[in-house]
Amino acid sequence: MYERLRAYFQNKLAMSEAQFEAIKQVLTPKSVRKHELVVWQGEVERHGAFVVKGCLRSYVVADKKGKEHIIQFAPENWWISDQHSMLRGLPAMFSIDAVEDAEVLLFGPDFFPLLQTLGSDFQAFFHTLLQNSMAAMQRRLISTLSATAEERYLEFLQMYPTLVQRLPQRMIAAYLGVTPESLSRIRKELARS
Amino acid sequence: MYERLRAYFQNKLAMSEAQFEAIKQVLTPKSVRKHELVVWQGEVERHGAFVVKGCLRSYVVADKKGKEHIIQFAPENWWISDQHSMLRGLPAMFSIDAVEDAEVLLFGPDFFPLLQTLGSDFQAFFHTLLQNSMAAMQRRLISTLSATAEERYLEFLQMYPTLVQRLPQRMIAAYLGVTPESLSRIRKELARS
DNA sequence: CTCATTTCTTACCCTACATCAAGGCGCCAG
DNA sequence: CTGGCGCCTTGATGTAGGGTAAGAAATGAG
């Protein structure tokens, strides 16, 4: 389990054995079954995860209608968490669950203070990670504001070509912000050409 | 000019005189006239800003139609920049200009390395700032995906009650992702009740 | 294998918002 | 004061995508 994390850090961040041990201390390996929840929207006691195998997602149930909206997919080698709420001890803004059976390394609120002690390379690394997420989020917002559902679907195909086969369509629809019916129509239309 | 920045840091971050001096070194005061551009979408040489007075905005011209989409408004005491592109020397993802005549403190790519040298309190502070933006962005994305234009307008009123009077409606529309015509109709409808 | 449940597709109609077009109201320059 | 130019409003019409419903296909459980 931990080997995958070490491999992930290769070429990204120079790390001593002691540092890696310290990180292992605050990470708990866990198998998560498909549909199993890792975080409940609204709960205070909770975790984030590094995905070793399988795929998780974070999502909110926003509407009175109970409609789901997916914020992020996290396949292998992705981090997923609600940092904002976690660090402040606030109720989680969204839920996290497994889209496929998965192997993850869970971390709690103590993960971030630990990073502080591991030196500025670590801080910089995770800061960069956050910046990348932010940039991705901005691009997605713009796309949601300015592009049609079909254009967004094509962008999604480009961005996550491997995920498309692994995810049920209703989840892609929930990510794009359209109904499964609409996505079905879009795919039909694209197939015609 | 710098006094406003010092006041801003009060209660947020303990800071020595020497640290403040170091920050001053990398900040350039500037007056920006309404409509004046601080950053051009696509340019590589560029700045971010701390807004002392007035209001800036970041926006993209996404469509072939030349339609503007506003990512962020930055009134007094806000930071605005394209960190992601700036740190990597990439072309800016969006433009930044002044919505009102403004006084700002400009910083360049050298700002972030400096923060590293100022100790982990500083890093933590700006990390938190980034997390807050991220959380706000996520909320906005969800809102864009799940709420009607009217609901988003009401959220905007709640979130930025003072800004509403200062901004032309077409900019609020560009922020919400609707046409000025639609926003006008929404306001009319709300006024009736 | 078989039945049940979930997921996907297709069809029909409806709604929120866009687009287009015209007119009114500031606001500033001369 | 007057003409021009943004900005906001209002109306008429168009359209992307939603809601609903029903059937087909896939997936899963016993």
Give chain A's domain count. Answer: 1
In chain B, residues 112 through 141 whose Cβ sits under 7 angstroms from any atom of nucleic acid strand C: none
- What is the CATH number for A73? 2.60.120.10
Q: Quick one: pLDDT at residue A166?
A: 95
Residue type, A147: A
Kindly report, residue by residue over B109-151, the tens digit of the pLDDT.
999 899 889 988 888 899 999 999 999 999 999 999 999 999 9
Q: Looking at the domain assignment, is residue B190 inside a domain? A: no
Closest CA to A70 of A161, A180, A145: A180
Kindly report, residue by residue over A109-164, the tens digit of the pLDDT.
999 899 889 988 888 899 999 999 999 999 999 999 999 999 999 999 999 999 99
Q: Quick one: pLDDT at residue B182?
A: 98
Q: Which of B82, B140, B141, B145 to mutate to test the interface with A (most CBs of A within 10 A)?
A: B145
Q: CB-CB: which of A63, A131, A137 is closest to B138? A: A137
Q: Looking at the domain assignment, is residue A155 inside a domain? A: no
Beta strand segments in A33-113, E: 37-39, 48-53, 56-61, 68-74, 79-80, 95-98, 102-107
Q: CB-CB: which of B83, B87, B141 is closest to A137? A: B141
Q: Under a CB-based contact definition with an 8 Å cutoff, are residues B59 and B69 in contact?
A: yes
Q: Which residue has the tokens 């503007």?
A: B68
Q: Looking at the domain assignment, is residue B137 inside a domain? A: no
Q: Looking at the domain assignment, is residue A90 inside a domain? A: yes
Alpha-carbon distances of B127 from A126, B15, B116, B137, rounded to whole Å:
9, 17, 11, 15
Residues in chain B: 193
CA dist., res. B79 & res. B70, Å (int): 15
Q: Looking at the domain assignment, is residue B159 inside a domain? A: no
Q: Looking at the domain assignment, is residue A106 inside a domain? A: yes
Beta carbons of A146 and B93 less than 8 Å apart: no
Beta carbons of A134 and B83 less than 8 Å apart: yes
- The share of chain A scoring above pLDDT 70, in percent, equals 99
CA dist., res. A77 & res. A54, Å (int): 10
The domain containing residue B63 runs over which residues? 2-111
Q: Quick one: pLDDT at residue B54?
A: 95
> What band does A46 get if pLDDT is binned at 50, 70 and 90?
confident
A135 interface with B at CB cutoff 8 Å: yes
Q: Looking at the domain assignment, is residue B130 inside a domain? A: no
**Residues 43 to 62 of A: which have CB under 8 A from any B CB?**
60, 62
Residue of A nearest to B59 (CA): A142
Q: Looking at the domain assignment, is residue B13 inside a domain? A: yes
Q: Which residues touch strand D (CB under 7 A)?
A: A 65, 148-150, 177-179, 181-182, 186; B 168-170, 180-181, 183-185, 187-188
